[in-house]
A and B are shown apart, each in its own frame.
Chain A
Amino acid sequence: MLIEEFLKNNAVRLADKPAVVCGDQQVTYQQLYADCVACAERHAEEGREPGTLVPLRATPTIDYLIEYFAIHLGGCIAVPLAKDLSDEEFSRYAVELQDAEVPEGTADILFTTGTTGKSKGVMISHDTIMADAENLIDAHKYSSDLTFIIAGPLNHCGCWSKVFPCIIQGATIILKDGIKNLDDLFLTLESATTKVATFMVPSSIKIAMEFGAERLAKLSDKIDFIETGGAPMAPKDLQRLCQLLPHSRLYNTYASTESGIVATYNFNEGECLHGCVGPAMKNSAISISPEGYILCSGRTLMTGYFNDLQTTEEILKDGVITMSDFGKLDEQGRLWLIGRNGDTINTGAYKVEPTEVENAAMEHPAIKDCICIATPHIVLGTALKLLYVPTDQATVTKREIALFLKSKLEGHKVPLAYEQVESINMTFNGKKDRKSYRS
């Protein structure tokens, strides 16, 4: 069954139940499905052919969800892009997707950071969507009496993947535009009439504990579970969250756009183990390569990278994906994360390839050379920093560079720190010496 068939069934089974709430707007399951069908029919009348790759901005709105499901109902492929993407970048994606072909069964393409300085499109099948949703339902016990708050980007697997188990089970989704308005988030949690759950990256959990510990503690009986992932959470933060929410299930999950959602661990059930992400989920299998890399297999894997067979073959062979993370399995089959290979920088649970940032920065006429490195950050733990060498006699402010990069990249790829330097450290064979900048 496809996710849209569950939506259709719930339009009858749970007709008047709120499906999605966003600010003052709300749609029931019956309305949501009717709106999706009407939207799909409108696009068909406008001439959209089945198989078309449709880019759309993943705004945290009901309209976005309607557009998304309508794309599938019309037999097309959805390509959710960052909500704050510039018009120039959106057009670039639209051109790249025009007349392109993807394997049969592809549902979505999600773009992630790429080592070649360009984002990679991860192709997700309809079956993968279902397999991820089944994993979450099985492990986290989603049910129709749950209200799930999604307060993060809907084009990234962490938040996006939660839409599907909610739809399948007939839960209510509340969409929030980030946790910028933390007070509003707490008010939503406090006023919920059912048990609630959410997904938050570690930096967001830290923020909630920093500025709302007392309010969080009062919600202990109401919060059914919180899932986190995407970045390591400090041991003291794990313990503090357990103390604040003794009755809630608290999960640390191992997932990526390429592998899907593969393992999860409740760190509020006896042992609070740092680095443990639990056993493989229902539709997944995990092993460790002789070199120590985590290997994932099962129905949750991507189909491949869009228009990039070479990169696909580098990590996906015979139904097994080799992750960039090092790990180990204990005697109970639980996965432990040990570290990560490569130059990828994890900032606020977003993985960013420094080359992508550097290539964009090099397009600025006042920059002669640059390197993107990791730097400690008060909120994120780790932020991006751009060291740049200006062209002769050029003067450029960090705000000018930041705004330039904002027009080229998704928001999380724009460095927060900048420093003008005389030169960039190079290795003996002429490559950027990234290791020399690591603390």
Chain B
Amino acid sequence: MKEQIRTLLEDALPIVDLDSDFLLGELDSLGVTTILMLLSEKFGITLESSDVTPRNLKNLDSLVKLVESKLQNK
């Protein structure tokens, strides 16, 4: 799943360093919402404004955890 997310985001956000361990710091409003929208669409999950936390958007691994937890609670 991590590589799937990486490919998805690499294509949409060319400037962002996806290997960063402080991903949220790399992103602007557009970057954050693009990630939320792409993940919602790709994995059929519902993401909300309260999901945008430094913990959830720390790095690619934390995004994987976020998606996995949403999938489990579907």
Q: Which residues on A are within 8 Å of B, measured CB to CB? A: 178-183, 185-186, 204, 207-208, 210-212, 215, 348, 378-380, 398-399, 401-403, 406, 411, 414, 416-418
Contact = CB atoms under 8 A, between A and B. Distances in A.
A182 B28 CA distance: 11
Interface in B8-60: 10-15, 24, 27-34, 36-38, 41, 47-53
B38 A378 contact: yes
Contact of B28 (A180, A185, A212): A180
Contact of B49 (A215, A348, A380, A403): A215
A407 to B, nearest CB: 11
B48 to A, nearest CB: 5
Which 7 residue pairs are nearest across A and B when measured between Cβ atoms? Answer: A178-B29, A182-B49, A402-B14, A212-B49, A180-B29, A211-B49, A207-B33
Contacts of A212: 48-49
Contact of A416 (B13, B24, B27, B51): B13
A78 to B, nearest CB: 24
Interface of B: 10-15, 24, 27-34, 36-38, 41, 47-53
B38 to A, nearest CB: 7
Contacts of A399: 10, 14-15
Given A181-B52, A210-B37, A378-B12, 20 more contacts: A179-B29, A179-B33, A180-B27, A180-B31, A180-B52, A181-B32, A182-B52, A183-B52, A183-B53, A186-B49, A207-B29, A207-B33, A210-B33, A211-B36, A212-B48, A378-B37, A378-B41, A379-B37, A411-B28, A416-B14
Query: Among the interface residues A210, A398, A411, which one has the most CB atoms of the partner chain B within 10 A?
Result: A210
Contacts of A378: 12, 34, 37-38, 41
Nearest to B27: A180
B33 A379 contact: yes
Contacts of B32: 180-182
A178 B15 CA distance: 18
Greatest chain A CB density within 10 A among B11, B24, B29 is at: B29
Contacts of B49: 182-183, 185-186, 208, 211-212, 215
A319 B28 CA distance: 39
